[in-house]
Amino acid sequence: MLPDVQLVVRDGIVEFGWGHPDPQLLPITALAAAAASTLRNDGAAALSYGAEQGPGSLINLLAARCAHTLAYRPDPTEIFVTGGTSQALDLLCTLFSRPGDTVLVEAPTYHLALRIFADHGLKIYAVPGDGDGMQVEALPTVLDDLHAGGEHVAFLYVVPTFGNPSTATLSRERRHALVALAAQQQLLIVEDDAYRELAHDTPAPVPLYALKPRAEVIHLGSFARSSHRLAPLAGWWPDREIVPALRASSRP
């Protein structure tokens, strides 16, 4: 019942139940022109199965775009296109975790991510957050306690910029501290950066991914919050060996 109610468009009401942009901002005309151009140039190939890693032309465009949005230009071999955050997280759980492993998250965090982690049989440990994001200074004690208890930490999941649902942004100092700690502890970071392009007054902070190679960071980016929901989500993977594993994992 609730999803049906949320989909009702009501004049004068700003809907915060879903993370989608204002419908008036969606580039309908541009999308129609792009679709027509693709069908005209690629024909039936545009409607067939594509490359497992994503279209090569799109990957090259994403690599160039990252130079402006991430302060770092990944190599095209580091990019993997998925159908959205949910698919990306599902693939990562399949590759990097086993049932019974622990995932570190900020309290609170993205509710659908929690559902995906639970579906994979993972334990969830919530690290406290405040106005500057996850309290990174609490992590050494958290990790020591978990390791002492025999727990295996698969990875840390964080929404560092305009966190969902807290809206908090991880401070510059904490970003550097988190990457340094992760490198020291050999802790994989999954950075869900879907909201960074919503920054308008000042530029968004440098993503954790751009602070590598001191730590392994998998960066999830998206056009869904800033442009339109038809665009894919792309992951930038610092270890090029991950992409072939993702290709194999995504096969039917």
Query: Six-digit token pair at 208?
Result: 């954790």
pLDDT above 70 as % of the chain: 82
Q: What is the mean pLDDT of residues 20-32?
A: 83
Between 12-21, 53-62, 204-213, the lowest mean confidence (pLDDT) is in: 12-21
Q: How many domains does the chain have?
A: 1
Of residues 214 and 22, more confidently modeled: 22
Please count the other Cβ atoms lying within 10 Å of the Cβ belonging to residue 108: 15
The reported pLDDT for the residue numbered 229 is 36
Residue 44 in domain: no
Residue 10 in domain: no
Range of the domain at 157: 53-249
Residue 129 in domain: yes
pLDDT of 226 higher than 60: no
The candidate with the shortest Cα–Cα distance to 93, out of 111, 116, 68, is 116
Q: What is the mean pLDDT of residues 166-182?
A: 95
Q: What is the CATH number of the domain that holds 171?
A: 3.40.640.10
Q: How far apart are CA 53 and CA 207, in angstroms?
A: 23
Residue 6 in domain: no
Residue 110 in domain: yes
- Report pTM: 0.85
Residue 36 in domain: no
> Which strands, in side-by-side order, build the sheet including 102-107?
79-82, 233-236, 217-222, 189-192, 153-158, 102-107, 123-130, 133-134
Residue 46 in domain: no
Residue 82 in domain: yes
